[in-house]
Structure 1
Amino acid sequence: MNHPTDRPTNRLASETSPYLLQHRHNPVDWYPWGEEAFARARAEDRPIFLSVGYSACHWCHVMERECFENDDIARLMNDFFINVKVDREERPDVDQIYMAAVQAMSGQGGWPMSVFLTPDGRPFWGGTYFPPRDIPGRPGFPRVLRSIHEAWTDRKESILNAAGELTGHLGSIGQIPASDGELDASLLDNATRHLTRAFDPRHGGFGPAPKFPHPMDLRVLLRAHARSGDEHALHMVRFSLDAMARGGIYDHLGGGFSRYSTDDEWLVPHFEKMLYDNALLGSTYVEAFQLTGDAEFSRVAREVFDYVIGRMTDPEGGFHATEDADSEGEEGKYYVWTLDEIRSVLGPDRADVFASVYDVTARGNWEGKTILRLPKPLDEAAAALGKDAEDLRRELAEDRARLLEARARRVPPGKDTKILTSWNGLMIAALADGAHALGEERYLDAAERAAGFILDRLRTSDGRLLHCYKDGKARFNAYLDDYANLIDGLTRLFEATGRPRWVASALALADVMVAQFLDAEQGGFFYTGVDHEALITRPKDVYDNATPSGNAMAATALARLARLSGRSDLEEQARRTLRSVRLVLEQAPMAAGQSLIALDFLIGPSREIAVIGGEDRDEQVAALRAIRSRFLPLAVVAPTPPEPDDQAEAARLVPLLIDRPAKQGRATIYVCENFTCQEPVFVDRLAEALGGG
């Protein structure tokens, strides 16, 4: 996005967040979140205007362009309010609290989030995007500013009372009433029924537009199928994943998924690309490939991971946060095509074939341009063209590469290069799980580099995590999901490599997480640590949104780590966490997908698989790939590390490796259930040992 740079800068110029820096030339007297802003508000008895967004947010850019760069509107803001700008990705704790307030006041939320606070931080009025002048159904921002100022001047006492009541309500969010029911498979069956009712049988996915991918819910259905053989559960997953991968929400040239689709049929995305979406969807496509063997799911997973490694990886090893929806001030401009552009790159004959497959027409399918999509599966497209499917597949791969090269010469969308611990944890887990399943060691290399970077650069000397890294600086106390996601990623990285550093770090972080975040009275975990900055309430994150809830990931990570390490205290915390949110699992399962994944794992029957390396390291890798080629959601895997010096440490941390020798110098696999093992086998008998599970 282009910004006027001839204006003086405001206080945001000293920040590292790309989103905050986008606003550094606004005529608004912005403050970053902090005591300086609140002290001035208290001293001058002025309300605070809090604006929350993120760098890839299209409507955030629009409101900035229309309102925050408008001198007259900025004057009203500066005269009447203390103005605070927050990057929701840096301060998800602030975002959670005030988003809950906006939803309570207006019935809806989103970004940009616009909230008015008392000088001590209590919210009393809010909304999302406001235009620069009145439009039908939405007041202009100047009218809002004047109305709030008049209300503060004339009716302050009533505002303070309302703010107090709302703040009291916010304190109760996340406190779920106790439920006496069991934690058993009936909750998974109930979730499947809810998802079946919400399923879109025509276009896939769940519910009407805007359509979000729902990766956690799709993974619940995979587990429901594995547990009960429910064929419709598998159909919902296959149909949805196929529809998304053929739709415009998927980048057919560069790989990776956009945030969501604005229509029912996955055609028109909101073009921003988020690291977390691609981590979660990458994991989902890997699991679908493991269960079905469908090569298309494998292809999509590879392209997602290749996109992240190629476009979203920092030179130091961590993964960047987002790519913008806009380039040159227009949403989607980087991604869309005209028929003439396609012809200029491919030539008329190849272009006509490509256009017929990818829905490219002179008229276009979106605002006169074309968003590439596959209206029908490639085999059907080949039949319609009278071509051999494999020949067409090769031809299209060449064409996509040429178009990608041409697209790379365009002005790219902006990128938010900050590195977030929580989102990196999700991607580390996805790459670790996908590496052996897809036969790609380089995915493991990328996951290990990222994990090493986080542990080396976003951890304090006393073992605490930090949340965010940008421009050589790590900042902000880590939140619950930073710990939970990273613990899960490190655990899965150990399962893929056997290197003791990863499981040792996971165990150390689990102990910090329990000490810092545990709700000893109600069970589960708070979102912020015990010594975190005092906010108007201490949030508790129990509902999945675009990412899994912190409590769900804590239960997932602790359960898996407990099965590897034999730490029964960690498993008990996982169970207690799920018991604390059981009512959510029962009554709102579509907001509890990750908790249901954790539940499926905990109720088992669990499997523990030790993969002991022999004289040939490649044979152990082959065993790991054979295991990871199968969908085994109830299993943990413990390989011996490749370095002999690490093997004693690995066995100390993971009891499954104790007294499990390699037989005849060959890679040897011990398949166990609840730490009771079958006779060891070699790779050629692994399928027999694993049976149907």
Structure 2
Amino acid sequence: MTNRLAGQASAYLRQHAENPVHWQPFGDDAFAEAARRDVPVFVSIGYAACHWCHVMAHESFEDPAAAEQLNAGFVCVKVDREERPDVDSVYMAACQAMTGQGGWPLSVFTLPDGRAFYAGTYFPPAPHPGQPSFRQVLHAVSEAWQERRDAVERQAGALAEALGGLFSDQLLGIAADGEHDGAALASAVGDAVAALARTEDRSHGGFGAAPKFPPSPVLEFLVRHAAATAPTAEDAQGLAGRTLAAMCRSALFDVLGGGFARYSVTADWSLPHYEKMLYDNAQLLRVLAHWVRLGGSDEFPADEAREAASLTADWMVRELGLAGGGFASSLDADSERNGRRVEGGYYVWTRRELAEAVGDADDAGRLAALFGLPLGEHASSAAPLHAGRALTVEEHGRLARHRDALNAARQLRTPPSRDEKVVAGWNGLAVAALADAAWALGRPELLGPAGAAATLLRDAHWDGERLLRVSHGGVAAGIEGLLADYAGCAEGALALYAATGDEEWYAWAEDLLGVASRRFIADGLLSDSAADGPAADDAPGVRAALAGSRSLDPHDAEAPSGASLLAGAMLSHAAYSGAAAHRAVAESILGGLPRLLREGPRSAGWLLAVAQALLAGPAEVAIVGRAGEDRRRLHAEALASPAPGTVVAVGGPGAPSRVPLLADRPAAPDGGPLAYVCLDFACRLPVGTPGELRQELATRP
């Protein structure tokens, strides 16, 4: 028996197609049915790689008795949070308002018009101390619905009003003259470094206590600040280096195949939560590439970062790359081990498994000791491979000798399942990461998958006026992209243009930003959803669940917010084009930085990175001349600069260009290449050698 999820494109929804629960997708039909039956709606939100979502599904949604209770008393709706982050954000805010916490699976009970009145996360099948069982919750909600309906509706109304006010308060005003106070901005950026230093875990690296998440947007800011001429630059370099070193030497990083797990359950990064997400790895690959470009530090040398970045780039292309271009969203936390699906089963090793793969008994013993594998061959003795420290030259050589054999042995196992959904904004981040890594790592072949992903996004997700958020099998469908999708794709396209000089990507970024300006800024206010139309499948009754059609969350979470991504892309485009309106948008968004910093710099990492680029100018480099090795060397030198936010344009001598930065920049008299370093389109005298360009960038205004 299947429910109404069997034909859905979402891998997460299809995971529940065989449940005895009468699931249906989020949409007006479900809420209309609830009104017709006069029952509440149970909205269950998760994503395909979520371990605890799988646990609750097995314990409760596959249980016939629980399913019978759900089907009798509720209309049951499944939501993939990665396809519908707009729905997830509203219901997560409701859960946090009611309980003080959130997470996935997210379990929400709503009126037939979509307004929430009760919410929680994971509910166990049997009661725990201080926590009811799922079936007890269902009974209590049904009883309240039948016997205290007025109180339930008052609760829903009050909560919806409070959330509407919260979301309205977060809308950002966009001024036509978004000027900034440079001294105040520099002071705020320095204060953010100091605040981050106060929350650093000096014992284990990173910030705060367990669980430990990769602070990816913050790391991008710290690496940029480390390249700046600021009193706190050295502090930022130390914070970034210690955090990157801790993560890359820990179980969070897959030392065999590359890539980072979603987070660590422990403060010392020793026990990962094994799901692997595109958005994490795209951001961390880019940060590592920028760290290499910066030159590393004694605490985390550039060569070590280069290896971690290269392994991660290979993992992303190999494990998440799709045949038609683009990147899948994630790999599951769970995988089969000894006939059972367990968390991390694909990644952990016992001593015997290690010895069988390595072959050499002495090397196997030394590697087992290095990685701290427990004695014994019980399932609990399996552990991830990590040293928790830098490897010696001898240890690194031993691991390198056996990496291929260990990977080959692991590939005989059943791999974790892959969610092949292509999310536009996350793929934009992946394009940017691969484009930057191609030059920083000296691996131009990475531009191939970057270009293929950008082509899929432009050809399948974009129709010239509208960007769809997700595609499956090369076919885009579902809701229009959110602000983070438009801005993430523009960020990727601009990075790909800088890396290749192919103006089709500059043109697409310009088109995306032009549409974003018209669609996401209305009445002088910026919002996460397009202002001139609802999500594709939401009729008015369902939109009530979304606390109104316009809202903005400016906080960085697992990925940069749409607002901070837009600020960065607008600033870069303005540096290429001289577009005062786009620079004003970026500066207006940066005007919200003080409020975010009062809540803590970890919620504003990407916006801080944009602020650092604005403080640096950013520098503009135009390279003009005939194609060839001399131009390639100048191009490489420009892209090697760690100066925050630097934009790079490349063109032929006298060739017409859509990029204003290249206009009226002559090549050498013989057509040879020259490089111009500019600020606000005011350029210094051109130079013709990499050494001269390096000097110009080092002494930029």
Q: TM-score, normalised by structure 1?
A: 0.93
> How many residue pairs get matched?
668
1:352 to 359, 365, 372: 365
SS in 2 for 1:376: coil
Alignment of 1:169-568 (within 5 A): 169-174=162-167, 175-176=169-170, 182=181, 184-227=185-228, 228-230=230-232, 231-293=234-296, 294-328=302-336, 329-347=341-359, 348-362=361-375, 367-379=380-392, 389=393, 392-460=395-463, 462-475=464-477, 476-521=479-524, 523-533=525-535, 534=543, 535-537=546-548, 538-568=550-580
Alpha-carbon displacement from aligned partner over 1:155-183 (angstroms, at most 9, x marks no partner): 11111111111111111224249999955
- Is it true that 1:20 corresponds to 2:28 in the alignment? no
- Bigger Cα displacement from structure 2, 619-628 vs 298-307: 619-628
1:597 to 587, 609, 634: 609
Q: Is the 8 A contact 1:258 1:274 kept in 2?
A: yes
Q: Is the 8 A contact 2:30 2:75 kept in 1?
A: yes
Q: Is the 8 A contact 1:517 1:525 kept in 2?
A: yes
- Bigger Cα displacement from structure 2, 71-80 vs 511-520: 511-520
1:57 to 45, 50, 70: 50
- Bigger Cα displacement from structure 2, 252-261 vs 298-307: 298-307
Alpha-carbon displacement from aligned partner over 1:397-419 (angstroms, at most 9, x marks no partner): 12111100100000000100111
- Is it true that 1:627 corresponds to 2:638 in the alignment? yes
| 1:502 Cα deviation after fit | 0.6
In 2: Cα distance, 1:229 partner to 1:353 partner: 44
SS in 2 for 1:378: coil
Paired residue type of 1:585: L
- Is it true that 1:68 corresponds to 2:76 in the alignment? no
Structure 1 vs Structure 2 CA RMSD: 2.0
Structure with the bigger RCO (C-alpha within 8 Å, sep 6+) is 2
Paired residue type of 2:39: R
2:650 to 611, 628, 639: 639
Alpha-carbon displacement from aligned partner over 1:483-529 (angstroms, at most 9, x marks no partner): 010011111111111111111111111111111111434x4333344
In 1: Cα distance, 2:139 partner to 2:666 partner: 74
In 2: Cα distance, 1:288 partner to 1:472 partner: 34
| 1:457 Cα deviation after fit | 0.7
Alpha-carbon displacement from aligned partner over 1:359-404 (angstroms, at most 9, x marks no partner): 234259993212111233112xxxxxxxxx2x55333212111100
- Matched with 1:132 is 125
In 2: Cα distance, 1:202 partner to 1:44 partner: 57
- Is it true that 1:691 corresponds to 2:698 in the alignment? yes
Unaligned runs of 5+ in 2: 174-178, 297-301, 536-542
| 1:186 Cα deviation after fit | 1.2
- Matched with 1:573 is 585
Q: Is the 8 A contact 1:467 1:474 kept in 2?
A: yes
- Is it true that 1:653 corresponds to 2:655 in the alignment? no
SS in 2 for 1:185: helix
Q: Is the 8 A contact 2:482 2:529 kept in 1?
A: yes
Q: Is the 8 A contact 1:611 1:638 kept in 2?
A: yes
SS in 1 for 2:185: coil
User: CA separation of 1:177/1:670 partners in 2, compared to 1, >3 Å: closer, same or farther?
Assistant: closer
User: CA separation of 1:133/1:560 partners in 2, compared to 1, >3 Å: closer, same or farther?
Assistant: same
Unaligned runs of 5+ in 1: 1-7, 380-388
- Bigger Cα displacement from structure 2, 653-662 vs 176-185: 176-185
Q: Is the 8 A contact 1:225 1:233 kept in 2?
A: yes
Paired residue type of 1:119: P
In 2: Cα distance, 1:560 partner to 1:192 partner: 23
Alpha-carbon displacement from aligned partner over 1:212-248 (angstroms, at most 9, x marks no partner): 1101112222233333153222111111101100100
- Bigger Cα displacement from structure 2, 168-177 vs 423-432: 168-177
In 1: Cα distance, 2:684 partner to 2:53 partner: 58
Paired residue type of 2:215: H
| 1:686 Cα deviation after fit | 2.1
- Is it true that 1:37 corresponds to 2:17 in the alignment? no
- Matched with 2:176 is none
Q: Is the 8 A contact 1:425 1:486 kept in 2?
A: yes
- Bigger Cα displacement from structure 2, 654-663 vs 153-162: 654-663
Q: Is the 8 A contact 1:97 1:539 kept in 2?
A: no
SS in 2 for 1:609: strand
SS in 2 for 1:13: coil
In 1: Cα distance, 2:586 partner to 2:522 partner: 12
In 2: Cα distance, 1:178 partner to 1:340 partner: 58
SS in 2 for 1:114: strand
Give aligned-pair identity as a percent: 39
Alignment of 1:57-96 (within 5 A): 57-96=50-89
Q: TM-score, normalised by structure 2?
A: 0.92
In 2: Cα distance, 1:27 partner to 1:73 partner: 9
In 1: Cα distance, 2:231 partner to 2:314 partner: 33
- Bigger Cα displacement from structure 2, 427-436 vs 21-30: 427-436
User: CA separation of 1:577/1:232 partners in 2, compared to 1, >3 Å: closer, same or farther?
Assistant: closer
User: CA separation of 1:365/1:686 partners in 2, compared to 1, >3 Å: closer, same or farther?
Assistant: farther
Paired residue type of 1:259: R
- Matched with 1:679 is 685
Q: Is the 8 A contact 1:289 1:295 kept in 2?
A: yes
User: CA separation of 1:341/1:123 partners in 2, compared to 1, >3 Å: closer, same or farther?
Assistant: same
Q: Is the 8 A contact 2:251 2:384 kept in 1?
A: yes
Q: Is the 8 A contact 2:212 2:265 kept in 1?
A: yes
Alpha-carbon displacement from aligned partner over 1:20-73 (angstroms, at most 9, x marks no partner): 000000000101001110110111221100000000000000000000000000
Alpha-carbon displacement from aligned partner over 1:324-344 (angstroms, at most 9, x marks no partner): 010121001100000111111
Q: Is the 8 A contact 2:667 2:673 kept in 1?
A: no
SS in 2 for 1:243: helix
- Matched with 2:540 is none
SS in 1 for 2:45: strand
Q: Is the 8 A contact 2:624 2:662 kept in 1?
A: no
User: CA separation of 1:624/1:247 partners in 2, compared to 1, >3 Å: closer, same or farther?
Assistant: same
In 2: Cα distance, 1:662 partner to 1:29 partner: 71
- Matched with 1:5 is none
- Is it true that 1:583 corresponds to 2:591 in the alignment? no
User: CA separation of 1:435/1:152 partners in 2, compared to 1, >3 Å: closer, same or farther?
Assistant: same
In 1: Cα distance, 2:505 partner to 2:364 partner: 49
Alpha-carbon displacement from aligned partner over 1:602-639 (angstroms, at most 9, x marks no partner): 233321101224252x3322222222333121421111
Q: Is the 8 A contact 1:282 1:304 kept in 2?
A: yes
- Matched with 1:166 is 159
